[in-house]
Amino acid sequence: MPPDTEIRQAVMEDEPALVRLLEQLGYPDTQSFIGRRLSQQRSHPDALLLVAQRHGEVLGFISLHFIPQLALAGDFCRVSYFCVAEGARSLGIGAALEQSAQAEAQARGCDRIELHSNERRESAHRFYRRQGYYDSPRYLVKRLASGRG
């Protein structure tokens, strides 16, 4: 882990930093609902949001969900969002977040971590491969009408 970097569970005070980081991922306008989402993740027993902080500044985060399996002995961990601030990339912060996620997944009985990364995120794919991830053959999506406003 890079010196002076702390990996910890996100707290409500991290809201502004999360909004900035989500904007860098291409998700603008999260400010109106990020507090509710952060609260949901913090209270859900099968979710965990970790942040990397250095000198008091949040420089990255990883959002995890732990999913029990019916037909397999081990559970799996899903990474739903993962970002390191543009100016802090290639400093080991992403690797430290991923290693923390791996340790947490193993502690919860998971035998793998899965994630989806859009094909346009080529530098992210290079990072994931360096961490030991490999391509999976298919990822299918079905959009649902939301009852939330």
List the domain boundaries for the chain: 5-130
CA distance 43 to 20: 22
Among 74, 58, 76, 54, CA closest to 19: 58
Output the pLDDT for position 120. 72
Please tell me the pTM assigned to this model: 0.86
Output the pLDDT for position 144. 87
- SS3 category, 44: coil
* CATH code at 5-130: 3.40.630.30
Spans of the chain, pLDDT less than 70: 118, 125, 127, 137, 139, 147-149
